[in-house]
Homo-oligomer: A and B are copies of this chain.
Amino acid sequence: MLDLENFFNEVRNIVDLKLDRLVPLGITEPLRLYEAIRWSLFGEGKRFRPALVIAAGREFGAPDEKLVHTAAAVEMIHTYSLIHDDLPAMDDDDLRRGRATAHKKFDVATAILAGDALQAMAFGTIAGDESLDQRMRLRLILELSMAAGQMVAGQQLDLEAEGKKVELDEVEQIHKGKTGALITFSVRAGGIIAEVSERDLLMLTNFGKRLGLLFQITDDILDVTSTSETLGKTAGKDIASRKATYPEAVGLAGARSLAKRISAEAYNELGPICREDSMLHDICNFVATRNS
């Protein structure tokens, strides 16, 4: 998996450079707001979603300069959702990306506003991306807006399910929105920018959906089996707050076997459209076997 590690590092360099330019510090008032935005953006995150945009885009021949704005926009949306989900009124979490959450480091008001600003910037970033033609930008904005809406709906369902006994299909419903929508968008965005055929885009989309589910299942498993230090966020949180999770719905062994099945399905979706040594395959393996 050395290649994949290099790839993630490369993505981080490219995307962080772009984010650093899009959200510069020191030239814009109010300072505290931009500090909170940058505090949240530049933690230890894996840049997993930008990596999907770039891996899918490269796979089908899109140059990096056409992918990087959208990759940065996706990371902005992801970061805003983390900031808001961690708020005391929501999941009430103190640790994220290996550091204090925005509302702990700054305050709740600043955290809410930092998230709000990031969401606005994400759409502006794509709208202003002159490397993409206008039709493509509008399609990406429209789809990102829908994904952002689904994320919010998923978070709402997640909060409403707390403390209740949930069935597998309810857990899936929650996470299709909460995690799946943006992961699916990220994969699709790479394909859209590379101008793949609608048929290939459909297979990419199916891959993205399976990958999103897989990501959440292994996330839930790690919450039970890992430590806060390894995760960079509070471990054991799901059980403590009686969250709807896969281990909760089907047991730890059940979740593990589900992960195996979904990962095979995801892999299969790629078969007809990707090279054997595609980075998308490696990412899928990584998600299936990850320990952080």
Binds B, one of A94-102, A141-149, A201-209, A217-225: A141-149
Interface centre among A108, A120, A146, A160 (most CB of B within 10 A): A120
Q: CA–CA, A173 to B29, complex, Å? A: 10
Contact B138 A112 (CB under 8 A): no
**Is A274 an interface residue when CB atoms closer than 8 A count as contact?**
no
Give the number of times this chain occurs in the complex, counting copies: 2
> Are B89 and A109 touching (Cβ within 8 A)?
yes
B89 with A107: CB separation less than 8 A = yes
Q: What would be 24 A-B contacts, judged by CB atoms less than 8 Å apart?
A: A29-B173, A30-B153, A32-B156, A33-B153, A84-B113, A87-B109, A89-B107, A89-B109, A90-B109, A109-B156, A109-B159, A112-B112, A113-B156, A115-B116, A117-B148, A117-B149, A119-B119, A120-B145, A123-B123, A124-B141, A124-B145, A127-B145, A137-B138, A141-B141
A residues near B (Cβ < 8 Å) are 28-30, 32-33, 80, 84, 87, 89-90, 107-110, 112-113, 115-117, 119-121, 123-124, 127-128, 134-135, 137-138, 141-142, 145-146, 148-149, 152-153, 155-157, 159-160, 173
